[in-house]
Each structure stands twice: as structure tokens, then as C-alpha cells.
Amino acid sequence: MNWGITLTWRMPAPIRKTTAPSITSMATIQTRWDLPAATGICSMPHMDQMGWYANISGAISTVTSSGTFNLAAIGLDPSSASGTPFMLKIAKPNTSDLYYLSYRQPVGNYNQLSTTYTKGINIHRYKGSGYGYTTHVKTLIDGETFTDTSNGISFTQVSQDNGFATVQVSYGCAANTPAVSISPATLAMASGNSANFTVTVSNKDMSGCSNTTFTLDHEGGVVNGSLASPDLTLSPSQTGSSILTADTYLSEGSYSLSVFVTDSDGRAPHHTGISSANATLVIDNTPPSTPANLSGSSNKQGNIALSWQASSDALSGVAGYLVYRNNEVIGETTSNGFTDSTVIAGVSYEYAVSARDKADNSSTVSSIILLTAGNSSGGGKGGGKK
């Protein structure tokens, strides 16, 4: 039986996604499997986006490691491809793009293709949805290699014959500057307390590279410090961390800290650049101002709602407020208001508030007020300062 399947795509009418026929229904199809007519010829990224090979098992293969791969010509009957993919997808790590490799030959409706594309394996770079985001990078011939030096990836056409081509994908070594960060970016402490920062280093080398030992150095001017692990040995894409402990026996104020990362193992791959990250240490021994004008009342729900004038803190800033009921802490809040929902109607309570700054200094406690909880249908009695 001779099956003829033609998927049409006409412009300027709206583009319609056409689903490719299942391979299970094509057992007797011969060597012609027509894709859209020549006026609608698309590259492999667009075919993938349109889903024209979505129902054909194994038609698209994602490559993540070195190897030799076969490709069937675009337009070849899938039942004649014997499971050989029609395209390879390879990630381009430094830009999050994709490479598409395909083998296009004058098969079926693709017999009008220029020899620019039919002489060998096509390499396309795909940046995202849309025609303008796809670039034809190169068409290879036997023995020719394309190399992405930024990522250490190379494609070499080995051979082509009778509707199939063979390509070698190699993941070599491309050394990239490591990334470093310090957390937290700002740390406030009172003098004499332990100040610990986490320094994180990421090896950005490609998978074909060997391990690298990175050396971490600290610089803080008058701030003395030490790194728990001054050397980190990391494989490509691996992340490691070290703790930077800074001396806090300092006068009040803000101090800048820096960590520098270098490649000092003397082995390939060589990283000539220096990575750095910065953080700030704030020494704050002064507590925030005392919360003022504490007031409250019992609301319609029978809860007691408190409010007060916000405190101030010149160095590290106010971190929050502790709320006291009958001399015991019942909660903490970052706003200048608090609702106590655990009261009993008709019972009177004493409330007070204190402020805490980011260096964990606490203010004196505010004036105490006495409030009586009401029931859920009405308010209770307010109180005054004690």
C-alpha cells in the first residue's frame, strides 16, 4: 500500500499546529514522508516548537555528554529511520540557549532546499520562541568541526550517506571565572559577639574540565577575621562554602569586608581572573529607643488590640518588638501593633512593650498599661498607665 501524507502550512493565514502521524500507522509507508511545502520550510527548532515530530518516538534526542550520534534526514519516512533521531538538542550553558543539530536533504517537499543547507549537518542556535530568535550557525561537511570555545563544546561531522549522517559531540574544557557570594550581605552585632558569614563559591567550568582548588582570602582593614576552609576543591558546576568569622571587638560603626577567590593549584584548567564579594559588619552597642505611648482596647471580637509609637535605632535599625502580658513575653512583632487573642472576658491584664534592634540590643520596657478584656459582643474597659 502506498501512503502519501502531506502536512500543509499556508501563509498569511493563521499558523495551525499540525500533529505528525503516529509511527505505528506508517508501517507500509515508503521513503517519502512529506512535511510542509517548500514555502513553509522551517528549521529544526521551529519544527520542534510546532510539534511536527512530537508523536514520533525518539525523533528528538537531548545530548548531555560526549559521544557519536546518527541523524536521519529531515523528510525521511520515520518508519525507514529505524529509531534514528531527526534532531539533537544540546544546551549552551553560558547563555541558556540551545543548539539544534539536523541533517537536511532534498527529500520530499524539501527538494527545493539550497545546497547551503543540504551539504551536511546543520547547526542552529535557538534563543527562544519566534523566528527571529533562531540563527543558522553553520552547515558542516565531512571532517569539519564547529567549536563553541565559551562552553568547550564541539561538533564534528564524521560521515553522511544514503539519508543518514554521523556527528561526534565532544564536551571539552572551558574554564570560567568562579562565582562567589557572602551571606548575609549585612550583619549587625554588639561588640564581643561572634560574627559569622557564609562564603559560597561556585565552579563555573564546563563538564569537560578537571577539579580546581580555589584559595579564599579575607580583607577587612581593621577587622580581623579567619576562614574555616581557606581552600575549596570543586569539580565543574560544584558549589562549596566556608565560614568567615570576623572580630567584633571594635568601636561602633559600619565596616566593609571582602573575600577574594583565586586559582592557585597550578594545574589546568587555569583561571587567571580574581572573583570577589563584599559584605558589611555593623557594630552596634546602643539599644533602640523605648516604645512610647502604649495604648489598647478590647475590640468587638473580645481580643485586646495594642498600639504604640515606633522606636528608633541609628545604627542597625529596629528588628522587632517584644510584647509582655503580666511580665511574661507573649509575642513578637515587627510592626507597632499587636492583638492578644488569648484573653478571657472580664479579666484584667497588664501590658508592656520593648524594642529590639538587629544587633540584638533591647530597649527598656515601656510604661505598663492595665486593660480588661470584653466579650465578643462588646468592648471591655481600657486602662491607664501604672
**Alpha-carbon dihedral angle through residues 116, 117, 119, 125, given to the nearest 10 degrees:** 110
Cβ-based neighbours of 297, under 8 Å, separated by 6 or more = 304, 305, 371, 379, 380, 382
CB atoms within 10 A of CB 238: 14
> What pLDDT score was predicted for residue 22?
33
Name residues whose C-beta falls within 8 Å of residue 83's C-beta, 6 or more positions apart in sequence: 57, 58
- Evaluate whether residue 9 is within a structural domain: no
Percent of the chain with pLDDT over 90: 63
Does one domain contain both 309 and 366? yes
Q: What is the pLDDT of residue 9?
A: 35
Q: Domain end: 238, 265, 283, which one?
A: 283
In the predicted model, what is the mean pLDDT of the chain? 86
Residue 246 pLDDT exceeds 50:
yes
Place of cell 501524507: 5
Is 320 contained in some domain?
yes
8 confidence band (pLDDT: 50, 70, 90): very low
Higher pLDDT, 27 or 276: 276
CA angle 149, 138, 164 (to 5 degrees): 110
Number of structural domains in the chain: 3
Residue 90: strand, helix, or coil: strand
Query: Burial level of 280, CB count in 10 A (0-12/13-18/19+)?
Result: middle
Fill in the DSSP letter of residue 34: B
- Looking at the fold, whether 30 and 145 belong to one and the same domain comes out as yes
Q: Identify whether residues 235 and 308 lie together within a single domain.
A: no
**Cα three-residue angle 107-111-116, rounded to 5 degrees:** 105
Q: Please, are residues 369 and 350 in contact by the beta-carbon 8 Å criterion?
A: yes
Could you give the CA distance from residue 220 to residue 245 in angstroms, rounded to a whole number? 11
Residue 274 is placed in which grid cell? 580574581
Q: Residue 282 has which C-alpha cell?
A: 555593623
Is residue 381 in some structural domain?
Answer: no
Distance CA 70, CA 88 (A): 9
- Give the residue numbers spanning the domain of 251: 179-283
Q: What is the CATH number of the domain that holds 226?
A: 2.60.40.2310
- The Cα-based distances of 10 to 16, 26, 53, 104 in angstroms read 9, 25, 19, 21
pLDDT at 16 over 50: no
pLDDT at position 131, please?
Answer: 58
Q: Is the pLDDT of residue 27 over 70?
A: no
pLDDT at 382: 55
134 and 70 within one domain: yes
Q: Which amino acid is at 77?
A: D
Q: Of 224, 216, 355, which Cα lies nearest the Cα of 287?
A: 355
CATH number at residue 348: 2.60.40.10
Where does a domain end: 148, 171, 194?
Answer: 171
* DSSP structural state of residue 110: G
pLDDT for position 377: 60
d(CA 172, CA 360): 51
pTM across the whole model: 0.66
- Rounded to whole angstroms, the Cα distance separating 267 from 362 reads 52
6 falls within a domain:
no
**Which range has the worst mean pLDDT, 99-108, 126-135, 280-289?**
126-135
Q: What is 230-275 written as a DSSP string?
A: SEEEE-TT-EEEEEEEE---S-SEEEEEEEEEEE-S--SSP--S-E
In this model, does residue 26 exceed pLDDT 90? no
Place of cell 579575607: 218
As a whole number, mean pLDDT of residues 140-165 equals 93
CA distance 285 to 98: 54
CA end-to-end span of the chain: 101
283, 300, 327: which is the final residue of a domain?
Answer: 283
Interatomic CA distance for residues 146 and 249, integer angstroms: 58
Task: Provide the pLDDT for residue 260.
Answer: 97
Contact between residue 151 and residue 206 where contact means Cβ atoms under 8 Å apart: yes
Residue 383 included in any domain: no
**CA-CA-CA-CA dihedral for 52, 54, 57, 59, to nearest 10:** 50
How far is Cα 335 from Cα 324, in angstroms, rounded to an integer? Answer: 15
| Co-location of 187 and 75 in the same domain | no
165 & 28 share domain: yes
Amino acid making up residue 219: E
Pair 107, 140 in one domain: yes
Whether 155 and 48 share a structural domain: yes
Distance in angstroms (rounded) separating the CA atoms of residues 257 and 278: 6
Q: Is the pLDDT of residue 327 over 50?
A: yes
Q: Are residues 167 and 187 in the same domain?
A: no
Are both 157 and 184 inside the same structural domain? no
The CB density around residue 240, as the number of other CB atoms within 10 Å, is 18
Beta strand segments in 75-118, E: 87-92, 97-104
Residue 386 belongs to some domain of the structure: no
Statement to judge: residues 310 and 266 lie in one domain: no
My answer on whether 238 and 348 are in the same domain is no
pLDDT of residue 334: 97
Collapse the DSSP code of 108 into the 3-class scheme (helix H, G, I; strand E, B; otherwise coil) and give the result.
helix
Compute the average pLDDT of residues 243-272.
94
Kindly state the cell numbers that stand for 168: 561526534
